[in-house]
Amino acid sequence: MPQTLGWIGPWIALVSLSLWVASPSSPSLVFAALGMSVGVLGGVRERGVFWVSGSIILVIGILAGVLADREVSDLSANWNTFWAEREAEVGGRLQEELQAQLRSGEAAADQLARGATEFERLEDVPTIQDIRAEHGVSALALYDSDGRLRIWDGVHRGKVPEEVQVGRDRYAYFDLPLFGYLYVTALTPDGGVAVAAQLMRTDLPLEIGARLGDFGSEFLDLTGEHIRINPGTVPNPESLSGLVLPNGERLFDVLIERPDRADRAAQVLGRWQWLVSSGLLIAWLLLAVGGVPRRSTCVFAAGGFLFLAAFVPLQQIAGLEPLFDQTLFALPPWPSALKMSLGRLALLVFAGESSSARLQTCPPRCPKRGARRSRCRSQRSRQRLPERQRQTVRRQRQSS
């Protein structure tokens, strides 16, 4: 009995952790810990290296779950303190990135203005492309003294304001419909205007795949925080970062949006969930390979695979969100309480087919007594023998 529990314990832990990654809760971690305790008491040292390695990964997964619960609890209890520290940290980074955007625009516009006489022919267009690529601005343009466009490179959504085309100000920020641009201008020797445009914000939602290279989206990828640009007067300017011009004036202010406490806790917990689920996939493979060649091992391995297919949060992988979005797919006769995504359904079908095929190749379960038990055990023993040893046994029988 203890030996049997030793085999079952890690599988109980794997199933419990699968439930935890789907819906984190303390009871799941308790059952996982009990399962591993049973496995250790059943003699985990007597197992092979694969089984022991899988058990160690499960123990690490349980500890990771405990740390995740503790971190989320601390975050919820000390949310104001946490956000004050986070806001100060991100605010410093935001100030650096804003000034870097300004310097890039200045360098691009000045370089284009200095070389304006080199862009008289259409075949010189790659040169302006090189300038834009070097400084990373969204668009570069060169206007003559009458405000007519001479050469252009990049993407600008909407019309460039006339004030920018004539170079009325060195720096300007305009909120266009759906977009906001930072402009830096430089006068050319012949009275023309070189313009560098930086896309700072867009109101297009990320859900429709709007990755346009704007500053707000790039800062979100960099820090995980949303920002909002305020070109006008704000009621609390001292709490905001801003784009500071060389003369000390602020061109606009930027607010770091404070997230909801529950959303941030879910975000932190999601990282732990993905870490634990990755370990579960490895642990399942090690336990399946390291188990004894008996039918019960196949049954537990198949059941564990089905649990992983049902609960591993694959929707957190970039690019797989639509496949695992429950709002994009629904089975008509399926109860709304058991709503399932298309990706999850396909994964469960694959896991079910794979498990069924694996169970058909597992050794049969032997009767408890009688001659059939002896024949069954003899057959299973022969299945465990390597091919060379089986040939030796056959030759010995033939010689006798």
CATH number, domain of 158, equals 3.30.450.20
7-52 confidence digits (pLDDT tens): 788 888 988 998 898 888 889 999 999 988 887 776 655 567 888 8
Shared domain for 230 and 320, answered yes or no, is no
Cβ neighbours for 86, distance < 8 A, ≥ 6 positions apart:
225
* Residue 150 in this model has a pLDDT that exceeds 50: yes
pLDDT: which is higher, 347 or 19: 19
Of 204, 236, 259, which one is at a domain's C-terminal end?
Answer: 259
User: Same structural domain for residues 252 and 140?
Assistant: yes
Asked which of 233, 259, 285 is the last residue of a domain, the reply is 259
Name the residue range of residue 289's domain. 2-74+262-362
81-85, 96-100, 230-234, 377-381 — which is least confidently predicted? Answer: 377-381
Asked if 161 and 85 sit in the same domain, the reply is yes
391 CB contacts (<8 Å, ≥6 apart)? none
164 and 246 housed in the same domain: yes
Q: Is residue 396 part of a domain?
A: no
Per-residue pLDDT at 384: 47
Q: What is the pTM of this model?
A: 0.70
Asked, for residue 266, whether it belongs to a domain, the answer is yes
Mind listing the pLDDT tens digit for each residue in 204-231?
776 654 567 889 989 998 998 999 888 7
Q: Tell me what pLDDT residue 29 has.
A: 92
Query: Is 398 contained in some domain?
Result: no
Is residue 377 in a domain? no
Do 134 and 253 lie in one domain? The reply is yes
Residue 11 lies in a domain: yes
Does residue 75 surpass a pLDDT of 80?
Answer: yes
Quick one: 222 and 353 in the same domain? no
Question: Residues 270-325: pLDDT tens digits?
Answer: 899 989 988 998 988 888 877 655 666 667 677 777 777 777 777 666 666 777 77
What pLDDT score does 335 carry? 58
Question: Is the domain of 253 the same as that of 291?
Answer: no
Question: Is the pLDDT score of 397 beyond 80?
Answer: no
Mean pLDDT of 55-61: 92
- Domain check: are 64 and 208 in the same one? no
How high is the mean pLDDT of the chain? Answer: 79
Q: Are residues 86 and 60 in the same domain?
A: no
102 and 226 assigned to the same domain: yes
Q: Which long-range contacts (CB under 8 A, 24 or more apart) does 198-203 make?
A: 198/101, 198/104, 198/105, 198/137, 198/138, 199/138, 199/157, 200/101, 200/173, 200/229, 201/228, 201/229, 202/178, 203/178, 203/179
Largest CA distance in the chain: 109
**Per-residue confidence band for 238, with pLDDT thresholds at 50, 70 and 90:** very low
What is the C-alpha to C-alpha distance for residues 191 and 119, in angstroms, rounded to an integer? Answer: 15
Residue 271 lies in a domain: yes
For residue 368, pLDDT beyond 60? no
Which of the four pLDDT bands, split at 50, 70 and 90, describes residue 139? very high
Residues 102, 143 within the same domain: yes
177 to 140, 202, 252, 291, 379: CA distances (angstroms): 20, 9, 17, 63, 77
**Could you tell me what percent of the chain has a pLDDT over 70?**
71
Among 239, 259, 279, identify where a domain stops: 259
Give the residue, 326 or 262, on which the prediction is more confident.
Answer: 262
Instruction: Give the bridge partners for 242, in sequence order.
Output: 253
Return the pLDDT at 301.
73
Phi-psi region of 271 (alpha: psi -120 to 50; beta: other; left: phi over 0): alpha
* Domain co-membership, 241 together with 194: yes
The secondary element (H helix, E strand) that includes residue 348 is helix 342-360
At 355 the pLDDT is 63
DSSP assignment letter at 1: -
Task: Kindly state the tokens that stand for 160.
Answer: 């460039």
- Which range has the worst mean pLDDT, 69-73, 157-161, 168-172, 229-233? 229-233
Return the minimum-mean-pLDDT range out of 99-103, 144-148, 319-323, 335-339: 335-339
Residue 89 counted as domain residue: yes
Question: Would you say residue 164 lies in a domain?
Answer: yes
Q: Over the stretch 89-117, which tens digit does the pLDDT of each residue have?
A: 999 999 999 999 999 999 999 999 887 65
Rg (CA), the chain: 32
- pLDDT over 90 percentage in the chain: 32
- In the chain, the number of structural domains is 2
Sign of the dihedral defined by the CA atoms of residues 155, 156, 162, 163, in that order? negative
